[in-house]
Structure 1
Amino acid sequence: MLATLLTSFLFFVSTFSDVTADNSLCPSGWSFSNETSYCYIVSDRYMPFSETSSYCQSLGGTQVFISLSYEFTFMKTFTQGLFAQPWLSITRDPTDNKWYNPDGTTPFISWWSTGEPSLNGDCATFKSTDPQGMKATPCWSIQPAMCKQMPAICPDPKKIYGGQYTRSGNITSPGYPVQYYNNLDCLYTITSPNKTYITLTFNPYLVEGYVDYVLIYDGPDTTYPSLGSTSSALKLEYESTNNSVTLKFHTDRSITNKGWLLKWNAKSNTPPVIQSGNGGNFTSPNYPNDYDSYTEQMFYLTVADGFQVNVTIDDFLTENRFDVLEVYDNYTIPGVNMIANLTGDSIAPWNWLSQSSHVTMRFRTDGSVQKRGFHGYWTIQ
């Protein structure tokens, strides 16, 4: 029974590792670690400790040292089966007889193999056979180098999402919906058409609370004012004040989850036309010249209670089906109150008498083919 459970457990661990480890993130010959989000490689040739740093740099990486417990756990698995012990970037300081990593940290005593650190040398390798762990080794010993490098998990920071002809889109965290990775600082920049602002909605949003988060900036880079952070996951909807926004996804060194899906939309930043009283005129933007692409213009017409609004359109020309004037018999725009959806070149003259004292109209255009639009007037009745 115990053997069966153990076999099932080992199969689960192996399967999970196979599913989540993505070596496609690394250069050919390197192995990706989910625990650290780094790529690793052990050299085929052996060398003294003094040559390891330059060797790793020649491959675009750095020499490995252990600073966190989960990296030690990964090392134990990764080095199993190696014939020789790979170098670690840690040395003994002869002035105080202590061991230091290149960043000045010192390793936990539990990361050393049994009986280590000994006086056998001032450099260290990683012992892959039981008992596993770090082992003091003479610096002139000939051992393989072990290197690591950060994979290309984040998208190109110069990439622009959206553009002058795009009004919506989706962005996901690296690895979504399986898992994101540790040690990330990914940048995303979104732009939308002129005269628009951008709305952002994270749904779903599954990350480690407070330490993994998205920072949102109101502009094309991180020097612009902050719109907030998702660190507490209490606020997952944001609006920019212009047609660009920048996001920075930061993760710490431990614990990941499925990540997030961001949906963004461009909204019209054109001030609404608000008219009241006994009558007035209204036109599409730029009329009689061509309206702009991706326009969203609102019109609000109001007369005194108990009266109606008589609307007449005497000139109308838009791209059929794609550039539309919606007319609503109310002060809001729910679909049930729409009484007309005007588009094309066969509309004018058009006349309509409201049933209420409020009329709302919305003019929306797409990204291609602009025409002169429309002219209309209204009176109280």
Structure 2
Amino acid sequence: MWFAFLGVVCLAAVASGEQQYCGGNLVGHAGDVFSPNFPNEYDANLDCMWTIPARGGVITVAFKNFSIEEPESFLFYARCNFDYVEILVGDRSRGRFCGTDMPPAITATQDIHIRFVTDELISGPGFQFSYIVQHELAGGGPCGTHLHDSYGVVTSPGYPDSYQSNMDCTWTIHGGGYEITLTFTDFVLENGGYYSGCYDYVEIYDGREIVGTYCGTDTPPTLTTTKDVRIKMVTDSSLQRPGFRFHYRVAVPSSTFKPEPEKTTMKPEGSGEGSGDDFIF
């Protein structure tokens, strides 16, 4: 009895281990995803679904490697009926792909689902794709915040219209030891007086050390550092200007994503054959 019980437990563990990388929620802001066993042959009878939540941002998915079983061929057309990757944006299928026909890059503001289905016969090396979720803080957004994403675009409150008076805002970028790059692409604040310095200004800090104080159209230089970055904006009670816009990026290295298994009942109906064009939704 005990041997039988242990045998069932071991078989269950093995089965769980074989499927633990087959699909899941991709909760990071960026990463690389591989089909099971890549670059070796994937298993038979798979039905995996990777989901990338948009969370109010813009998702970009791009395949880097793609080689699965060839399509079923007829006289004048071919159809991916054996092994295939299906891409869904929201609940709509954007095509099935198989063979070595690389799926196009996709950009969308809805959740993206990557479904991988295999039959019991021919296998191949599989695929690799990368993804990134980007967020932009629109004008009228918060007066300072902690920026947790690995990439983002930030504007001063009200941009491109005038900012408010008497503000004291701080944006903080925590890189966790990874390299941070900060680049301003637009910068218009109230000019300073000849003797009194800046009235409205932006201060940039590299860790605890101040990089500089900027106003008028004196655009701050690009900053690259492995320390935390702070961008402080202070305005007075008089003149207002459009403000600023900056990009930041944290150089978090790509890594193989190995999510926990997640059951899904999503069974999309219908699909179009893939084309070679990029999709933008």
Name the TM-score, length of structure 1 as normaliser.
0.38
Q: Structure with the greater relative contact order (CA < 8 A, sep ≥ 6): 1 or 2?
A: 2
Larger radius of gyration: 1
